[in-house]
Structure 1
Amino acid sequence: MAALPRSAAGDRSPWLIATVVSIATFMEVLDTTIANVALRHMAGGVGASQDESTWILTTYLVTNAIILPVSGYLATLIGRKRFYMGCVAVFTLASLGCALSDSLPILLVFRAIQGLGGGGLAPVEQSILADTFPPEKRAGAFALYGLTVVTAPAMGPALGGWITDNYSWHWIFLINLPFGALSLFLVSVFVQEPKAVREDRRKARAEGKGIDWVGFGLAALALGSLQVVLDRAVIDDGFWSPMVTWLTVACVAGFALLIPWERRQARPAVDVRLFGHRSFLASSLIMFLVAFTLFSTTQLLPQLTQDLMGYDATTAGLTLAVGGIGTIFVMPIAGRITGLVQPRWVILCALLWSGVALLHATQITLEMGFWHVSTLRILQVVALPFLFVPITTAAYVGLPPDKTNDASALINLMRNLGASVGISVMNGAVVHGAQFHQSRLVESANAANPLWAEQLRQTEQALRHAGLGAWEASQAALSQLAGQFAAQAQVLSYMDAFWLLGVAVLALWPLVFLMRDLPKGAKPSGH
């Protein structure tokens, strides 16, 4: 296959480039989930409270969200390869700083820097793939790349649990160093900066009036505020917290000013006009919900198994890893099918499968074994490659060639926002759902209910046979049944969460008909 005008492969195989640029994304996506299970250990290591420790995650997500939408703009101004290598270097060095931190403020500073470096990786990588492969060949490339995005979140909790159980939390960050060094070396040697991309940079500098600082500032205000609100709303009791309230106002104001401002700019920091392309808009919305579902269930399932089934961090993470292994085998098939069938039909079938699998997960019980839980996870994620690959492929159909950087930035922003919103919303739904169900269960716990009275009598009788006195048995029985009520209420809340996710996924199917058809064997224009 002859090299395309904007290809980063030069005279080398484009598949080599696809492999090279996937390394750093695997490192960055893995880091977004691997730290979750080690949060308590990190808090103890830097002398932070449990509440303060959540800022270790929040700080990274805030700066990551801020840099994501403007990464395409910066890549065009600075140069795609130079910007990408700079992001890898910043992320890697910040990881070393995190590992060496001995106080919470220092750790938060390096996490913020790490988020800035990590946020620029995925958009540039997808832009490189979109320019290196013609439209009819992109599905296979995105399938290879998708292995990192889909499997890394599943492997993160298991790997993080194993590291913290057997070594120390510092190694969660130190393992990034060899990946970062390898990525920098391979990119510097194999990835090319084609003449067409260098011309984009020259034109952007010649035609533009410098950096769109207003757009950058408004995006930082809106997305940074939104990320903090999503992360702290449940912890700080929602709008009862003045910080959450004021940041919500800042977020709304930021978006309200950002959109009209950027629509008037010749070279906007965030090119919101791309959402005017129907295929890109549909792809972005579906990507948002795919990430919403993937990351929220990645959070909920280990939480369920650890809190209610007594799993340790490693075993809970392994339930996700089993599903991740399944996606590894399915991803190449998804790439092959997307190259033969129009993306909209692949996405439609995958949405139906995912929705039904999430509804099936409402059958959870506390008596389920490890493999039963793992099977539920496999059913949930096995369709993800058939969503991620065609969505990413369809997003670029019909876009101008010089907009791949901006499009990649926005599609990745939608993925990250979906993850953040999903985790926040579904955690809140589980907390409030447990309170709702527990109040309903407690209402039935009265002497007028023969089932309750009989259950209480049998429990008291069993405790008295175990050697307790009458009064002690009565109190212990009430305490034991209260614990059962609390556990059952939590299970019901998780069932509600999976039901809501399933219904939301099934309701998305009309969006697929907004997508444009992928050209079959056509010569790409400018790509």
Structure 2
Amino acid sequence: MSNQVTGFARTIIVITTISAAIMELIDTSIVNVALADISGNLGATIEDTAWVITAYAIANVIIIPLTGFFAKLFGRKRYYLGSIILFTIASWLCGQAGSLEMLVIWRFVQGIGGGALLSTSQGILFDAFPPEKRAIAGGMFGMGIVLGPTIGPILGGIIVENYHWSLIFNINIPFGIAASLLTMRFVTETDEEKDPNRVKPKIDFAGIAMLAVGIGSLQYVLERGQSDDWFTDNTIVIMTALAAGGLIAFIWRQLTIANPMIQLSLLKNRNLAASNILTFAVGFGLFGSVFIFPVLVQRVLGYTPTDAGLGLVPSAMVAIFIMPIIGKTLSSGTPPLVYVIIGFTCFILHGYTSAMASPDAGLAFFFWPQIFRGFGTACLMVPLINQAVVGLTPQQMPSGIALTNMIRQLGGAFGIAVMNTHITNRFALHRNDLVSNLQPNDPIMIQRLAQTKAGLIQGGVDPVTAVEGSYKILDLAIVKQSYLMAYLDGFILISLFFVCAIPFLFMLRTQKMDKSTLQKVQEESH
């Protein structure tokens, strides 16, 4: 039963819940533009520093499907307040981290706290409005969901360019404190929470441990497999066994116990299974592209962190503009499958056009690729969730949507890890190819080395050092070109991933979305 509030209290709840959701979403992308600075400051490679992003994503994957369970266990208000406090404390500890290992650990804890904020925020927000006005609440929350990942890279760029990278975490502290105080004062408990005789669900510690071990080990294998030469490394072998054992045990447990935390049995529904495969591809493309772009333009093209963040603005702006239109047309009867097909096409075009970048590509070049990405994002969010719940009962719908949200986050974590490994592999391949094509008697190379040597000597470098310097400069040019080609291959991989998922589109049932289903999807999604 809803506990609707009015007036000033409702305004405060709107501000608090949307701000908390935006804060969580900002932290999914704010680190992307700071990877180079963090890696340099902590003495780690960018590939290893990517664990700062991956750890947060893994924690989200583990906690998102469990939010409903924990809300029932602790009470929604207590769980929400506890998550905000945990997120805020972990943010402060991330800012204080003096090593990559500690930063990764506290980012994981931050992800545990942040993972609960999206779905719980939306539930509290919707309860503050009567049913006939929940579409307005959904629109406001949807705007926050799109704005969060956009603000992240821009804010991160400004901070990294002008201040220390730790501020990207410390900036959460005042917002977290304010959100905690406002939650204690204005967020009310549900009737179920107030009931002293309510039955609390039992904590499935074994199931949570199996999920954490399985997902965590899988991510380790994906992240470190390439650099550690895969199964020639004993740690990779052990982690692979733990990943397989943990995930198989988790699936078996959820299918056999009386009251599972996650109703995996729902995947017997063909539409839910197919839509989740497509959602996995969407997560792969969304997170993978946001991971590649800032690193590419800073590491290879020489953008400032601020410019890297601004480069993502077009995609967010078009998504904000298009999403309300898609919502209206869905409620008026347009089949969601139409938008899913358009969204897949846009993401394929995004990867293909991005992969055509040259070493001197400016922000203007990436305008249309980002437009394709934004349009694709808008066309895939709510329509895919709708397709997931086709054929589910009202009682099954929350569990189905929770599964879909988990799969999207898992696809994102998988996408970042695969992109990291793929780029490392492709860089080595391209560098070997470029070096093998260098011939000592090539007139062009001889001329280039001579010009570089002459320039160094003219700058005051002695002839012997100038010769060594000219070869080092040539090697740096090869490294830069190799990285450019590797990152562009990453965009191609995104396109291929979507192409490979296309057959699953034909497994979906085409069904129009009625207004009641749309409202239910809006209430339960994210």
Matched, 1:339 2:317: no
Is residue 330–residue 513 contact of structure 2 (8 Å, CA) maintained in 1?
no
Q: What is the number of equivalent residue pairs in this alignment?
A: 512
Secondary structure (helix, strand or coil) at the match of 1:360 reads: helix
Matched, 1:435 2:428: yes
Instruction: Identify which range, 32-41 or 111-120, moves more after superposition.
Output: 32-41
Which of 299, 311, 318 is the equivalent residue of 1:319?
A: 311
Secondary structure (helix, strand or coil) at the match of 1:169 reads: coil
- Once the two structures are superposed, what CA deviation does each residue of 1:234-271 show, in whole Å capped at 9, x if it has no partner? 55454444333312210110111111211112211222
- Once the two structures are superposed, what CA deviation does each residue of 1:201-251 show, in whole Å capped at 9, x if it has no partner? 97753xx6x222222221122122223333444554544443333122101
Which of 297, 303, 309 is the equivalent residue of 2:295?
A: 303
Which of 506, 517, 523 is the equivalent residue of 2:511?
A: 517
- Structure 2: how far apart are the matches of 1:174 and 1:407? 36
Structure 2 equivalent of residue 453 of structure 1: 442
Structure 2 equivalent of residue 391 of structure 1: 384
Is residue 453–residue 469 contact of structure 2 (8 Å, CA) maintained in 1?
no
Secondary structure (helix, strand or coil) at the match of 2:259 reads: coil
Tell me: CA distance 1:99–1:523, structure 2 relative to 1, closer, same or farther (3 Å): closer
Is residue 355–residue 503 contact of structure 1 (8 Å, CA) maintained in 2?
yes
- Structure 1: how far apart are the matches of 2:349 and 2:36? 35
Structure 2 equivalent of residue 3 of structure 1: none
Equivalent runs, 1:103-182 vs 2, <5 Å: 110-125=106-121, 144-182=140-178
Is residue 101–residue 107 contact of structure 1 (8 Å, CA) maintained in 2?
yes
| One-letter code aligned to 2:321 | F
| One-letter code aligned to 1:300 | I
Structure 2 equivalent of residue 83 of structure 1: 79
Structure 2 equivalent of residue 276 of structure 1: 268
Tell me: CA distance 1:288–1:128, structure 2 relative to 1, closer, same or farther (3 Å): farther
- Structure 1: how far apart are the matches of 2:418 and 2:517? 44
Instruction: Identify which range, 437-446 or 242-251, moves more after superposition.
Output: 437-446
Secondary structure (helix, strand or coil) at the match of 1:161 reads: helix
Equivalent runs, 1:343-362 vs 2, <5 Å: 343-362=336-355
- Structure 2: how far apart are the matches of 1:133 and 1:399? 26
Is residue 123–residue 405 contact of structure 1 (8 Å, CA) maintained in 2?
no
| One-letter code aligned to 2:511 | D
**Structure 1 residue 432: Cα displacement:** 1.3
- Structure 2: how far apart are the matches of 1:462 and 1:62? 50
Identical aligned residues as a percent: 31
Matched, 1:377 2:370: yes
Secondary structure (helix, strand or coil) at the match of 1:372 reads: coil
Tell me: CA distance 1:337–1:184, structure 2 relative to 1, closer, same or farther (3 Å): farther
**Structure 1 residue 393: Cα displacement:** 4.0
Is residue 291–residue 415 contact of structure 1 (8 Å, CA) maintained in 2?
yes
- Structure 1: how far apart are the matches of 2:517 and 2:322? 29
Instruction: Identify which range, 92-101 or 415-424, moves more after superposition.
Output: 92-101
Tell me: CA distance 1:169–1:357, structure 2 relative to 1, closer, same or farther (3 Å): closer
| One-letter code aligned to 1:67 | I
Is residue 94–residue 114 contact of structure 1 (8 Å, CA) maintained in 2?
yes
CA-based RMSD: 4.1
Provide TM-score, normalisation by structure 1. 0.81
Secondary structure (helix, strand or coil) at the match of 2:257 reads: coil
- Structure 1: how far apart are the matches of 2:253 and 2:118? 26
Tell me: CA distance 1:10–1:100, structure 2 relative to 1, closer, same or farther (3 Å): same
Structure 2 equivalent of residue 50 of structure 1: 44
- Structure 2: how far apart are the matches of 1:163 and 1:256? 43
| One-letter code aligned to 2:120 | V
Which of 403, 417, 423 is the equivalent residue of 2:416?
A: 423
| Structure 1 unaligned blocks of 5 or more | 1-5
Equivalent runs, 1:234-245 vs 2, <5 Å: 234=226, 236-245=228-237
Secondary structure (helix, strand or coil) at the match of 2:312 reads: helix
Instruction: Identify which range, 488-497 or 421-430, moves more after superposition.
Output: 488-497
- Structure 1: how far apart are the matches of 2:31 and 2:467? 44
Is residue 284–residue 411 contact of structure 1 (8 Å, CA) maintained in 2?
yes
**Structure 1 residue 176: Cα displacement:** 1.6
Tell me: CA distance 1:134–1:523, structure 2 relative to 1, closer, same or farther (3 Å): farther
Tell me: CA distance 1:522–1:333, structure 2 relative to 1, closer, same or farther (3 Å): closer
| One-letter code aligned to 1:520 | D
- Structure 1: how far apart are the matches of 2:196 and 2:280? 30
| Structure 2 unaligned blocks of 5 or more | none
- Once the two structures are superposed, what CA deviation does each residue of 1:355-408 show, in whole Å capped at 9, x if it has no partner? 122212221101212222344323323321121132234434444444455444
